[in-house]
Amino acid sequence: MNFFILSSLAAFLLNFLISLIFFFKSRGKLPSTNLGYGCLLASVWGLGCFLSSLANSVSNALLWFKIAHIGTILTPAVYFDFTYNLVKKTYPNRKIITTVIYIIAFIFLALNFFYDNFYKVDYYFNSIYFFRCYFSDNFYYIIFYLIFYLFLVLYSLFLLIRHLKNINPNKKNQIKYFILGSFVGWSGPEGMYLFIIFHLPVYPYSNILIAIMPLIFAYAILRHHLLDINIVIRKGLIYSFLIALITSIYFIFILFISRIFQSAMGYSSYIVNLLAVFLIALLFAPLKNKIQYLVDRNFFKGTLTSLAHEKAKLEEELRRSDRIKAVSTLAAGMAHEIKNPLTSIKTFTEYLDKNKGNPEFIDKFKRIVGSEVDRINSIVHQLLDFAKPAALRLKNCDIHRLLDETLTLLSNDLLKYNIKLIKQYNAQNLNLQADPNRLKQAFLNIILNAIEVMPNGGILTVSTDQLDDELSIAIKDTGKGISEKDLPHIFDPFFSTSEKGTGLGLSITHGIIKEHNGRIEVKSKVGLGSEFRIILYRF
Amino acid sequence: MKKKRILICDDEEGIRESLKLILESDYDLVFVKDANECLEKLKKEKEISLLLLDIKMPKISGLDVLKDVKSLKPGLKVMIISGYKSVETASEAAKLGAVDYILKPFESEEILEKVKKYLE
């Protein structure tokens, strides 16, 4: 057993595991499935190297090495395919290019299996690794393969980096992980081929990097979408160093024990070596944990859960920056909303002396000044609701009952405006933990808007659906719809297209749903109507 | 002498009534509630000398109405009234051909003075 064999095994196991996670989690979505195939191929490489190193004859070693190369040859093509799917650009001739690339890859694959001079095999016993197989000395093979390989990898990287410019910050972080992972993964084999061309005797380190690559990918997609890239790099480097250190100590110990046994008994015993491995493994687990704990405490100021905390912190910061943005929009909107009634009140009081004897003026004064004061009062109340919402009072809620209660409140309006109500309650077993009053407020705001956009009658459809742990509540109207220009702003505080509204209703609704860890999706077509879909999670 | 006609475009009754209080003794006032009505009125009424236009949105897009007005009646004097103290909006309004930019809450003196100045 040597490090090359172990790293091959690690590359196999890790990549295989991650590919399973990708297949399982992606549910057939293209970029993630591609990445699953990529990791599966990397695991084939790991397995091939592992078994090739354990083989007891040159022909066996060669066979496994050829199998390992299925991974090497196909991975760049799959990676390229993945990148295309990820950046989702409809490049001209995209299908043709992808097909041609797969055909070339399969030609190399055929050469790999059926052309005997493709590889040169050296074998060394008592060396750091048992067999060394590599591409033929034939210069043209290597050059052609290398060009193909480099083109795919570099072009993919180019697409990814260019894609970085046009995406939102969260997605950007994800892509950065891919680039980091790709760089780590690819720099292994790339480097190896260059060394082979120049006949440099270099330790085959690529397995180690190939084992790290899926870890970065997995880490990026499945757990830490929002985590800053620096944390991953720091953590990755420190842990790699730590693992290398621990493994070295581990091997030195085993070697030491086997030497002691040999010098004492005069022969080497596998059983004793295995026992030593077992013993040291037992001793090492607590030691490793201790070292890891120390590293975490000193470098990351926390325990193993520090990453989760850092993620939560980052998310909180994002939320806060959202909030700051909301507050500044709020301040601007409020200025306008309050300045209007202030202007009227000011002008009317200014003209009071002049018009004291005018009953028409006095009537208008009472009506307008009165309603403007009410308006300021209502804005201040809503603002308080928005800025400092009371803590959620979670209870077991029946969503259908909440919807019915809200609709009852509005039944007069529905009648008045000749709006037909359709209820489609498809969800069942609704044990949802939520704040009933605030959810009702959220529903009310959306339904009020729906009623407002159907002054001449229409159909209001309220439906619920359930998928796994997701519960969706859809409120659909047949009103005038929201224009594409307005759609991104409907949740902004004080954004309103109606004369009556303050523009706070939907932004309050948005806040309530976010507090429940849910989300709102809006679909709208001008002239046809809008659909607000609230998605809540059962927890 | 015939009173000069001013078109006032504001969606809020309070503001319309306030401007009425300030201006009605000296000018002939026409009121509209929104941009569409404003453009309709401008097409029909030939004798409008000044437009007082309320800008509701803080963004430049709020000035779209002004663009439309100016393309319909390039020579018409337009005064913008807004609750937002925004240099960008004000300079953009000036670029689009507005003669002045009045901030809410306004003083009746200020309105009278400026209206007089542009109608002389």
Any chain A CB within 8 A of the CB of B18? Answer: yes
Alpha-carbon distances of B88 from A192, A310, B92, B112, rounded to whole Å: 58, 39, 6, 25
For chain B, say whether A489 makes contact (Cβ under 8 Å).
Answer: no
Q: What is the DSSP string of A38-88?
A: HHHHHHHHHHHHHHHHH-SSHHHHHHHHHHHHHHHHHHHHHHHHHHHHHHT
Q: How far apart are CA B105 and CA A349, in angstroms?
A: 13
CA-to-CA distance for A523 and A530, rounded, in angstroms?
A: 6
Position A369 scores a pLDDT of 92
Q: Is any Cβ of chain B less than 8 angstroms from the Cβ of A339? A: yes
Nearest chain A residue (CA) to B105: A343
Which residues between 361 and 400 in chain A have a beta carbon less than 8 angstroms from any beta carbon of chain B?
364, 368, 371-372
- Residues A112-133 have pLDDT tens digits of 777 666 655 554 443 334 445 4
Closest by CA to A43, choosing from A244, A215, A234, A271, is A215
Asked whether the beta carbons of residue A368 and residue B13 sit closer than 8 angstroms, the reply is: yes
The residue ranking higher by pLDDT, A324 or A60, is A60
Measured CA to CA, the distance from residue A212 to residue A358 in angstroms comes to 86
Mean pLDDT of chain A: 74
Distance (Å, whole) CA A219 – CA A215: 6
3-class secondary structure, B66:
helix
Q: Which residues of B touch A368 (CB under 8 A)?
A: 13-14, 17
| CB within 8 Å: A343 and B33 | no
CB contact under 8 A, B14 and A343: yes
Predicted confidence (pLDDT) per residue in A72-122, tens digit? 778 788 878 877 777 766 566 777 888 888 888 888 777 777 766 665 555
Q: What is the pTM of this model?
A: 0.41
Rounded to whole angstroms, the maximal C-alpha distance in chain A is: 124
* Nearest in space to A41 (alpha carbons), one of A9, A78, A6: A78
Q: Which 8-state DSSP code applies to residue A33?
A: H
Q: Which residues lie below 8 Å from residue A105, measured CB to CB, with a gap of 6+?
A: A73, A74, A76, A77, A148
Contacts with A341 from chain B: Cβ below 8 Å: 14
With an 8 Å Cβ cutoff, is B33 touching chain A? yes
Q: Given A333, A340, A485, which is nearest B14 (Cβ)?
A: A340
Instruction: Tell me if A336 and B58 make a contact (CB, 8 A cut-off).
Output: yes
Spatial contact of A179 and A139, defined as CB atoms under 8 Å apart: no
pLDDT band at A289 (very low <50, low <70, confident <90, very high): low
Q: What confidence category does residue A359 fall into, taking pLDDT thresholds of 50, 70 and 90?
A: very high
Q: Cα B74 from chain centroid?
A: 14
Residue A174 CA to residue A164 CA, distance in Å, equals 10
- Closest-CA distance, A209 to chain B, in angstroms, reads 51
Highest mean pLDDT pick, A37-46, A243-252, A291-300:
A37-46
**Alpha helices (H) along A88-205:** 94-114, 139-164, 169-197
A chain contacts of residue B56, beta-carbon cutoff 8 Å: 336
Mean pLDDT is lowest, of A205-214, A389-398, B58-67, B76-85, for B58-67
What value of ipTM does the predicted structure carry? Answer: 0.85
Rounded CA Rg of chain B: 13
Of the candidates B22, B33, B105, the beta carbon closest to that of A342 is on B105
First to last CA, chain B: 13
| Stretches in chain B below the pLDDT threshold 70 | 57-62
Residue A343 to residue B105, Cβ atoms within 8 A: yes
